[in-house]
Amino acid sequence: MAELFGTDGVRARINTGPMTAEVVVRLALAAGRWFADHNDRPSNARPIVVIGKDTRISGYMLESAMVAGFTSIGLDCRLLGPVPTPAVAHLTRSLRAELGVMISASHNPYHDNGIKLFGPDGFKLDDEIEAEISALAAGSIELADAPDVGRARRMLDSVGRYVEFAKSTLPGRTRLDGLKLVVDCANGAAYRTAPDTLYELGAKIVPLAVSPDGFNINENCGAVHPQTMATAVVAHGADAGICLDGDADRLIMADETGAIIDGDQILGCLALAMQERGKLANAAVVGTLMSNRGLETRLGAAGIALRRAAVGDRYILEKMRQEGLNLGGEPSGHVLMTDFARSGDGLLTALQMLTLLKTSGKKASALFNSFVPSPQRLENLQGIDPAVLYDENLQRDLAKIEASLNGNGRILVRPSGTETLVRVMVEANNEQLLNEVMTALILRIKAEVK
Protein backbone atom coordinates (compact mmCIF):
# COMPACT_ATOMS: atom_id res chain seq x y z
CA MET A 1 0.00 0.00 0.00
CA ALA A 2 1.41 3.39 -1.01
CA GLU A 3 2.12 6.18 1.46
CA LEU A 4 -1.34 7.34 2.60
CA PHE A 5 -0.67 10.80 3.98
CA GLY A 6 -0.14 14.03 2.09
CA THR A 7 0.68 17.47 3.48
CA ASP A 8 -2.64 17.66 5.35
CA GLY A 9 -3.82 14.16 6.12
CA VAL A 10 -5.35 11.82 3.53
CA ARG A 11 -7.36 13.34 0.68
CA ALA A 12 -8.72 12.27 -2.72
CA ARG A 13 -11.85 12.10 -4.85
CA ILE A 14 -14.30 9.77 -3.17
CA ASN A 15 -14.09 6.11 -4.22
CA THR A 16 -10.66 6.66 -5.77
CA GLY A 17 -7.15 6.16 -4.38
CA PRO A 18 -7.12 6.25 -0.58
CA MET A 19 -10.75 7.43 -0.35
CA THR A 20 -12.37 4.03 -0.79
CA ALA A 21 -14.12 2.21 2.04
CA GLU A 22 -11.57 -0.62 1.86
CA VAL A 23 -8.55 1.65 2.26
CA VAL A 24 -10.22 3.74 4.97
CA VAL A 25 -10.97 0.60 7.00
CA ARG A 26 -7.29 -0.32 6.67
CA LEU A 27 -6.29 3.18 7.75
CA ALA A 28 -8.53 2.94 10.83
CA LEU A 29 -7.17 -0.51 11.65
CA ALA A 30 -3.60 0.76 11.41
CA ALA A 31 -4.19 4.00 13.32
CA GLY A 32 -6.21 2.13 15.93
CA ARG A 33 -3.48 -0.48 16.32
CA TRP A 34 -0.78 2.19 16.69
CA PHE A 35 -2.68 4.15 19.34
CA ALA A 36 -3.90 1.03 21.15
CA ASP A 37 -0.26 -0.03 21.47
CA HIS A 38 0.89 3.42 22.62
CA ASN A 39 -1.72 4.33 25.24
CA ASP A 40 -1.26 4.31 29.00
CA ARG A 41 -4.81 3.45 30.05
CA PRO A 42 -5.36 0.63 32.54
CA SER A 43 -5.59 -2.77 30.85
CA ASN A 44 -9.33 -2.98 31.57
CA ALA A 45 -10.12 0.38 29.92
CA ARG A 46 -10.52 0.59 26.16
CA PRO A 47 -8.89 3.50 24.30
CA ILE A 48 -11.27 6.14 22.91
CA VAL A 49 -11.34 7.79 19.48
CA VAL A 50 -13.56 10.77 18.64
CA ILE A 51 -14.79 11.11 15.05
CA GLY A 52 -16.15 14.28 13.49
CA LYS A 53 -17.09 15.09 9.91
CA ASP A 54 -18.24 17.89 7.67
CA THR A 55 -21.44 17.80 5.61
CA ARG A 56 -20.36 15.86 2.49
CA ILE A 57 -22.63 13.01 1.45
CA SER A 58 -19.64 10.65 1.52
CA GLY A 59 -19.06 11.39 5.19
CA TYR A 60 -21.55 8.70 6.19
CA MET A 61 -19.66 6.04 4.27
CA LEU A 62 -16.25 7.06 5.60
CA GLU A 63 -17.52 7.40 9.16
CA SER A 64 -18.89 3.83 9.03
CA ALA A 65 -15.60 2.55 7.60
CA MET A 66 -13.62 4.27 10.35
CA VAL A 67 -15.92 2.85 13.05
CA ALA A 68 -15.55 -0.65 11.61
CA GLY A 69 -11.77 -0.40 11.69
CA PHE A 70 -11.44 1.17 15.12
CA THR A 71 -13.91 -1.12 16.89
CA SER A 72 -12.20 -4.15 15.32
CA ILE A 73 -9.03 -3.14 17.13
CA GLY A 74 -10.88 -2.59 20.41
CA LEU A 75 -11.25 1.21 20.47
CA ASP A 76 -14.48 2.84 21.61
CA CYS A 77 -15.78 5.48 19.18
CA ARG A 78 -17.51 8.74 20.06
CA LEU A 79 -19.30 10.07 16.98
CA LEU A 80 -19.54 13.87 17.02
CA GLY A 81 -21.52 14.37 13.81
CA PRO A 82 -20.93 17.52 11.70
CA VAL A 83 -18.52 19.76 13.65
CA PRO A 84 -15.54 21.94 12.68
CA THR A 85 -12.07 20.45 12.52
CA PRO A 86 -10.95 22.52 15.54
CA ALA A 87 -13.87 21.09 17.54
CA VAL A 88 -12.41 17.61 16.98
CA ALA A 89 -8.99 18.82 18.14
CA HIS A 90 -10.56 20.38 21.25
CA LEU A 91 -12.80 17.44 22.14
CA THR A 92 -9.96 14.94 21.67
CA ARG A 93 -8.22 16.62 24.59
CA SER A 94 -11.38 17.38 26.55
CA LEU A 95 -12.58 13.77 26.43
CA ARG A 96 -9.08 12.39 27.14
CA ALA A 97 -9.23 10.39 23.93
CA GLU A 98 -6.22 8.67 22.40
CA LEU A 99 -7.06 9.82 18.90
CA GLY A 100 -9.21 12.35 17.06
CA VAL A 101 -10.45 11.98 13.47
CA MET A 102 -11.90 14.64 11.19
CA ILE A 103 -13.51 13.48 7.95
CA SER A 104 -13.29 16.44 5.58
CA ALA A 105 -11.67 17.72 2.40
CA SER A 106 -11.68 21.27 3.75
CA HIS A 107 -12.30 23.79 0.94
CA ASN A 108 -12.55 21.18 -1.85
CA PRO A 109 -15.83 20.36 -3.66
CA TYR A 110 -18.22 17.71 -2.34
CA HIS A 111 -16.84 14.92 -4.54
CA ASP A 112 -13.54 14.97 -2.60
CA ASN A 113 -13.08 13.88 0.97
CA GLY A 114 -10.24 13.40 3.40
CA ILE A 115 -9.17 12.32 6.86
CA LYS A 116 -7.14 14.29 9.40
CA LEU A 117 -5.81 12.64 12.56
CA PHE A 118 -5.11 14.29 15.91
CA GLY A 119 -3.12 12.94 18.82
CA PRO A 120 -4.27 13.03 22.47
CA ASP A 121 -2.69 16.47 22.86
CA GLY A 122 -4.99 17.92 20.17
CA PHE A 123 -2.17 18.47 17.69
CA LYS A 124 -2.06 16.93 14.22
CA LEU A 125 0.17 13.87 14.06
CA ASP A 126 3.88 14.15 13.39
CA ASP A 127 5.17 12.92 10.03
CA GLU A 128 6.95 10.05 11.78
CA ILE A 129 3.74 8.70 13.31
CA GLU A 130 1.89 9.02 9.99
CA ALA A 131 4.68 7.04 8.31
CA GLU A 132 4.41 4.30 10.95
CA ILE A 133 0.64 4.12 10.49
CA SER A 134 1.08 3.84 6.71
CA ALA A 135 3.54 1.00 7.23
CA LEU A 136 1.11 -0.80 9.55
CA ALA A 137 -1.70 -0.41 7.00
CA ALA A 138 0.39 -2.27 4.43
CA GLY A 139 0.87 -5.34 6.63
CA SER A 140 -1.00 -7.77 8.83
CA ILE A 141 -2.82 -6.13 11.74
CA GLU A 142 -3.72 -7.88 14.98
CA LEU A 143 -7.44 -7.58 15.77
CA ALA A 144 -9.14 -7.60 19.16
CA ASP A 145 -10.55 -10.79 20.69
CA ALA A 146 -14.34 -11.05 20.54
CA PRO A 147 -14.98 -9.80 24.12
CA ASP A 148 -12.71 -6.79 23.52
CA VAL A 149 -14.36 -5.40 20.38
CA GLY A 150 -15.04 -1.69 20.76
CA ARG A 151 -18.37 0.15 21.04
CA ALA A 152 -19.61 3.21 19.18
CA ARG A 153 -22.10 5.84 20.27
CA ARG A 154 -23.13 9.29 19.15
CA MET A 155 -22.45 12.33 21.30
CA LEU A 156 -25.53 14.52 21.27
CA ASP A 157 -23.88 17.52 22.95
CA SER A 158 -20.76 17.93 20.76
CA VAL A 159 -22.00 21.17 19.16
CA GLY A 160 -22.94 22.68 22.52
CA ARG A 161 -19.61 21.73 24.07
CA TYR A 162 -17.70 23.45 21.28
CA VAL A 163 -19.91 26.56 21.33
CA GLU A 164 -19.31 26.99 25.06
CA PHE A 165 -15.58 26.49 24.56
CA ALA A 166 -15.53 29.12 21.80
CA LYS A 167 -17.30 31.65 24.00
CA SER A 168 -14.90 30.94 26.85
CA THR A 169 -11.96 32.23 24.79
CA LEU A 170 -13.23 35.82 24.96
CA PRO A 171 -11.87 38.01 27.76
CA GLY A 172 -14.04 38.69 30.78
CA ARG A 173 -17.66 39.37 29.97
CA THR A 174 -17.06 40.49 26.39
CA ARG A 175 -20.24 40.71 24.33
CA LEU A 176 -20.87 41.50 20.67
CA ASP A 177 -24.13 43.38 21.16
CA GLY A 178 -24.65 46.09 18.57
CA LEU A 179 -22.69 44.35 15.81
CA LYS A 180 -24.49 43.25 12.66
CA LEU A 181 -22.61 40.42 10.96
CA VAL A 182 -22.94 38.40 7.78
CA VAL A 183 -21.86 34.82 8.49
CA ASP A 184 -21.12 32.49 5.57
CA CYS A 185 -20.70 28.89 6.76
CA ALA A 186 -19.95 27.34 3.33
CA ASN A 187 -22.77 24.81 3.84
CA GLY A 188 -20.14 23.05 5.86
CA ALA A 189 -19.21 21.86 9.31
CA ALA A 190 -19.86 25.18 11.10
CA TYR A 191 -23.41 25.67 9.83
CA ARG A 192 -24.66 25.41 13.43
CA THR A 193 -21.69 26.31 15.62
CA ALA A 194 -20.80 29.70 14.10
CA PRO A 195 -24.31 31.26 13.98
CA ASP A 196 -25.17 29.86 17.42
CA THR A 197 -21.99 31.24 19.03
CA LEU A 198 -22.31 34.71 17.53
CA TYR A 199 -26.02 34.95 18.30
CA GLU A 200 -25.50 33.88 21.91
CA LEU A 201 -22.85 36.60 22.26
CA GLY A 202 -25.39 39.23 21.27
CA ALA A 203 -24.63 39.93 17.61
CA LYS A 204 -27.31 40.33 14.98
CA ILE A 205 -26.72 37.60 12.39
CA VAL A 206 -27.36 37.42 8.66
CA PRO A 207 -26.64 33.73 7.94
CA LEU A 208 -25.48 32.49 4.53
CA ALA A 209 -24.85 28.94 3.29
CA VAL A 210 -26.28 27.22 6.37
CA SER A 211 -28.42 24.63 4.54
CA PRO A 212 -26.11 21.74 3.67
CA ASP A 213 -27.53 18.98 1.48
CA GLY A 214 -24.44 16.81 1.13
CA PHE A 215 -23.51 18.28 -2.24
CA ASN A 216 -23.38 22.08 -1.85
CA ILE A 217 -20.43 22.38 0.52
CA ASN A 218 -18.10 25.20 -0.65
CA GLU A 219 -20.26 25.69 -3.79
CA ASN A 220 -20.04 29.41 -4.65
CA CYS A 221 -19.80 30.19 -0.94
CA GLY A 222 -17.41 30.13 1.97
CA ALA A 223 -13.79 31.17 2.29
CA VAL A 224 -12.86 30.23 -1.28
CA HIS A 225 -15.75 32.34 -2.66
CA PRO A 226 -15.86 35.31 -0.25
CA GLN A 227 -17.39 37.77 -2.69
CA THR A 228 -20.86 36.36 -1.97
CA MET A 229 -20.41 37.26 1.67
CA ALA A 230 -18.85 40.65 0.87
CA THR A 231 -21.76 41.61 -1.37
CA ALA A 232 -24.22 40.66 1.37
CA VAL A 233 -22.35 42.85 3.89
CA VAL A 234 -23.01 45.93 1.78
CA ALA A 235 -26.59 44.90 0.93
CA HIS A 236 -27.50 44.41 4.59
CA GLY A 237 -25.52 47.35 5.96
CA ALA A 238 -23.54 45.01 8.19
CA ASP A 239 -20.53 46.00 10.28
CA ALA A 240 -18.44 43.09 8.97
CA GLY A 241 -18.64 39.71 7.29
CA ILE A 242 -17.24 36.29 8.17
CA CYS A 243 -16.45 33.47 5.74
CA LEU A 244 -15.50 29.97 6.87
CA ASP A 245 -14.50 27.03 4.70
CA GLY A 246 -15.98 23.53 4.64
CA ASP A 247 -14.35 22.37 7.88
CA ALA A 248 -14.18 25.86 9.45
CA ASP A 249 -10.46 25.93 10.18
CA ARG A 250 -9.89 29.04 8.06
CA LEU A 251 -11.37 32.54 8.02
CA ILE A 252 -11.76 35.27 5.43
CA MET A 253 -13.55 38.50 6.38
CA ALA A 254 -14.99 41.64 4.80
CA ASP A 255 -15.19 45.16 6.19
CA GLU A 256 -18.32 47.30 6.07
CA THR A 257 -17.48 48.50 2.55
CA GLY A 258 -17.34 44.94 1.21
CA ALA A 259 -13.53 44.90 0.89
CA ILE A 260 -12.10 41.40 1.38
CA ILE A 261 -9.86 40.92 4.42
CA ASP A 262 -7.55 37.93 3.84
CA GLY A 263 -5.47 35.91 6.26
CA ASP A 264 -2.45 38.24 5.99
CA GLN A 265 -4.54 41.25 7.02
CA ILE A 266 -6.07 39.25 9.88
CA LEU A 267 -2.64 38.09 11.04
CA GLY A 268 -1.33 41.67 10.93
CA CYS A 269 -4.30 43.02 12.86
CA LEU A 270 -4.02 40.41 15.60
CA ALA A 271 -0.23 40.71 15.84
CA LEU A 272 -0.33 44.49 16.28
CA ALA A 273 -3.07 44.27 18.90
CA MET A 274 -1.33 41.49 20.83
CA GLN A 275 1.97 43.37 20.73
CA GLU A 276 0.27 46.46 22.13
CA ARG A 277 -1.22 44.43 24.99
CA GLY A 278 2.04 42.62 25.71
CA LYS A 279 0.53 39.28 24.68
CA LEU A 280 2.66 38.48 21.62
CA ALA A 281 5.29 35.91 22.50
CA ASN A 282 8.88 36.83 21.61
CA ALA A 283 7.78 39.76 19.42
CA ALA A 284 7.40 37.50 16.36
CA VAL A 285 4.77 35.73 14.30
CA VAL A 286 4.95 32.94 11.73
CA GLY A 287 3.73 33.41 8.18
CA THR A 288 4.51 31.41 5.06
CA LEU A 289 6.41 31.81 1.83
CA MET A 290 3.14 33.23 0.44
CA SER A 291 2.77 35.97 3.05
CA ASN A 292 2.74 39.44 1.51
CA ARG A 293 5.87 41.62 1.76
CA GLY A 294 3.66 44.49 2.88
CA LEU A 295 2.79 42.53 6.01
CA GLU A 296 6.46 41.92 6.74
CA THR A 297 7.22 45.63 6.32
CA ARG A 298 4.36 46.76 8.58
CA LEU A 299 5.18 44.30 11.32
CA GLY A 300 8.87 45.19 11.15
CA ALA A 301 8.01 48.84 11.70
CA ALA A 302 6.21 47.81 14.89
CA GLY A 303 9.17 45.75 16.11
CA ILE A 304 7.60 42.41 15.18
CA ALA A 305 9.55 39.82 13.19
CA LEU A 306 7.84 37.72 10.53
CA ARG A 307 9.20 34.18 10.37
CA ARG A 308 8.37 32.31 7.16
CA ALA A 309 7.46 28.62 7.05
CA ALA A 310 6.50 26.31 4.19
CA VAL A 311 2.90 26.63 3.02
CA GLY A 312 0.50 24.69 5.23
CA ASP A 313 -0.79 25.19 8.75
CA ARG A 314 1.10 22.16 10.08
CA TYR A 315 4.42 23.78 9.08
CA ILE A 316 3.37 27.08 10.64
CA LEU A 317 2.54 25.32 13.88
CA GLU A 318 5.79 23.38 13.80
CA LYS A 319 7.80 26.61 13.56
CA MET A 320 5.69 28.27 16.24
CA ARG A 321 6.42 25.43 18.64
CA GLN A 322 10.12 25.45 17.77
CA GLU A 323 10.47 29.18 18.50
CA GLY A 324 7.99 29.53 21.34
CA LEU A 325 5.55 31.74 19.41
CA ASN A 326 1.80 32.00 19.92
CA LEU A 327 0.53 33.47 16.63
CA GLY A 328 0.87 32.39 13.02
CA GLY A 329 -1.14 32.23 9.83
CA GLU A 330 -1.30 32.25 6.06
CA PRO A 331 -3.14 34.30 3.41
CA SER A 332 -5.75 31.58 2.84
CA GLY A 333 -7.12 32.27 6.31
CA HIS A 334 -5.58 29.58 8.51
CA VAL A 335 -4.68 31.44 11.72
CA LEU A 336 -3.17 29.64 14.69
CA MET A 337 -3.47 31.10 18.17
CA THR A 338 -1.95 28.56 20.52
CA ASP A 339 -3.07 30.47 23.61
CA PHE A 340 -6.56 29.19 22.76
CA ALA A 341 -6.36 26.18 20.43
CA ARG A 342 -4.06 23.51 19.00
CA SER A 343 -5.21 23.96 15.38
CA GLY A 344 -6.43 26.66 13.03
CA ASP A 345 -9.91 27.77 14.08
CA GLY A 346 -11.94 30.13 11.90
CA LEU A 347 -14.54 30.86 14.56
CA LEU A 348 -12.06 31.59 17.36
CA THR A 349 -10.12 33.87 15.00
CA ALA A 350 -13.34 35.69 14.10
CA LEU A 351 -14.19 36.15 17.77
CA GLN A 352 -10.81 37.74 18.45
CA MET A 353 -11.19 40.09 15.45
CA LEU A 354 -14.75 41.02 16.41
CA THR A 355 -13.68 41.71 20.00
CA LEU A 356 -11.11 44.18 18.65
CA LEU A 357 -13.79 45.75 16.47
CA LYS A 358 -16.22 46.06 19.35
CA THR A 359 -13.73 47.50 21.86
CA SER A 360 -11.93 49.85 19.47
CA GLY A 361 -14.98 51.83 18.41
CA LYS A 362 -13.52 51.95 14.89
CA LYS A 363 -15.04 50.92 11.59
CA ALA A 364 -13.85 47.57 10.29
CA SER A 365 -12.27 49.30 7.28
CA ALA A 366 -10.04 51.33 9.60
CA LEU A 367 -9.12 48.42 11.87
CA PHE A 368 -8.92 45.31 9.70
CA ASN A 369 -6.77 46.71 6.89
CA SER A 370 -3.60 46.45 8.93
CA PHE A 371 -1.07 47.11 6.13
CA VAL A 372 -0.76 48.23 2.51
CA PRO A 373 -0.17 45.04 0.50
CA SER A 374 2.45 44.77 -2.21
CA PRO A 375 0.92 43.88 -5.60
CA GLN A 376 0.61 40.10 -5.63
CA ARG A 377 -0.97 37.64 -8.04
CA LEU A 378 -1.58 33.92 -7.71
CA GLU A 379 -2.36 31.55 -10.58
CA ASN A 380 -3.24 27.85 -10.36
CA LEU A 381 -2.07 25.93 -13.44
CA GLN A 382 -4.36 22.96 -13.96
CA GLY A 383 -3.43 19.81 -15.87
CA ILE A 384 0.32 20.12 -15.27
CA ASP A 385 2.22 17.34 -13.56
CA PRO A 386 4.01 18.96 -10.60
CA ALA A 387 6.99 16.69 -11.35
CA VAL A 388 8.03 19.08 -14.14
CA LEU A 389 9.18 21.48 -11.43
CA TYR A 390 12.15 19.23 -10.69
CA ASP A 391 13.64 19.75 -14.16
CA GLU A 392 16.99 21.51 -13.80
CA ASN A 393 16.61 23.58 -16.98
CA LEU A 394 13.22 24.81 -15.81
CA GLN A 395 14.57 25.71 -12.38
CA ARG A 396 17.44 27.62 -13.98
CA ASP A 397 15.05 29.59 -16.21
CA LEU A 398 12.74 30.37 -13.28
CA ALA A 399 15.72 31.73 -11.36
CA LYS A 400 16.59 33.98 -14.31
CA ILE A 401 13.02 35.31 -14.41
CA GLU A 402 13.15 36.10 -10.70
CA ALA A 403 16.54 37.79 -11.14
CA SER A 404 14.94 40.09 -13.72
CA LEU A 405 12.95 41.65 -10.87
CA ASN A 406 16.21 43.22 -9.59
CA GLY A 407 15.10 42.90 -5.99
CA ASN A 408 11.76 44.63 -6.68
CA GLY A 409 9.72 41.50 -6.04
CA ARG A 410 9.81 37.74 -5.74
CA ILE A 411 8.30 34.61 -7.23
CA LEU A 412 7.14 31.31 -5.77
CA VAL A 413 6.37 28.25 -7.91
CA ARG A 414 5.25 25.14 -6.05
CA PRO A 415 3.07 22.05 -6.35
CA SER A 416 -0.20 22.05 -4.46
CA GLY A 417 -0.13 19.88 -1.37
CA THR A 418 -3.79 18.87 -1.73
CA GLU A 419 -4.63 19.06 -5.46
CA THR A 420 -3.02 18.08 -8.78
CA LEU A 421 -1.88 21.49 -9.96
CA VAL A 422 1.01 23.94 -9.88
CA ARG A 423 0.65 27.21 -7.98
CA VAL A 424 2.48 30.30 -9.25
CA MET A 425 2.82 33.46 -7.16
CA VAL A 426 4.42 36.74 -8.20
CA GLU A 427 4.98 39.81 -6.05
CA ALA A 428 6.31 43.07 -7.51
CA ASN A 429 6.48 46.78 -6.81
CA ASN A 430 3.98 47.63 -9.55
CA GLU A 431 1.23 45.93 -11.53
CA GLN A 432 2.94 46.18 -14.91
CA LEU A 433 6.08 44.40 -13.73
CA LEU A 434 3.97 41.83 -11.90
CA ASN A 435 1.96 40.97 -15.03
CA GLU A 436 5.04 40.77 -17.24
CA VAL A 437 6.77 38.35 -14.89
CA MET A 438 3.64 36.25 -14.38
CA THR A 439 3.18 35.90 -18.15
CA ALA A 440 6.81 34.85 -18.58
CA LEU A 441 6.52 32.25 -15.80
CA ILE A 442 3.33 30.68 -17.12
CA LEU A 443 4.67 30.47 -20.68
CA ARG A 444 7.91 28.86 -19.51
CA ILE A 445 6.19 26.29 -17.28
CA LYS A 446 3.65 25.35 -19.95
CA ALA A 447 6.46 24.96 -22.48
CA GLU A 448 7.79 22.14 -20.30
CA VAL A 449 4.59 20.09 -20.81
CA LYS A 450 5.07 17.66 -23.66
Catalytic residue selected from 106, 158, 332, 343: 106
Does the annotation count 374 as an active-site position?
A: no
Pick from 339, 360, 325, 356: nearest CA to 168: 339
CA distances from 371 to 232, 270, 294, 299, 315 (A): 24, 12, 6, 9, 24
SS (H, E, C) the chain: CCCCCECCEEEEECCCCCCCHHHHHHHHHHHHHHHHHCCCCCCCCCCEEEEEECCCCCHHHHHHHHHHHHHHHCCEEEEEEECCHHHHHHHHHHCCCCEEEEECCCCCCCCEEEEEEECCCCCECCHHHHHHHHHHHCCCCCCCCHHHCCCEEECCCHHHHHHHHHHHCCCCCCCCCCCEEEEECCCCCCCCHHHHHHHHCCCEEEEECCCCCCCCCCCCCCCCCCHHHHHHHHHHCCCEEEEECCCCCCEEEECCCCCEECHHHHHHHHHHHHHHCCCCHHHEEEEECCCCHHHHHHHHHCCCEEEEECCCHHHHHHHHHHHCCCCEECCCCCEECCCCCCCCCHHHHHHHHHHHHHHHCCCHHHHCCCCCCCCEEEEEEECCCHHHHHCHHHHHHHHHHHHCCCCCEEEEEEECCCCCEEEEEEEECCHHHHHHHHHHHHHHHHHCCC
Residue 190's contacts (CB-CB under 8 Å, 6 or more residues apart) are 84, 244, 248, 346, 347
Cα–Cα distance for residue pair 20/287, rounded to 1 Å = 35
Cα–Cα distance for residue pair 4/34, rounded to 1 Å = 15
Residue 156's contacts (CB-CB under 8 Å, 6 or more residues apart) are none
Active site residues: 106
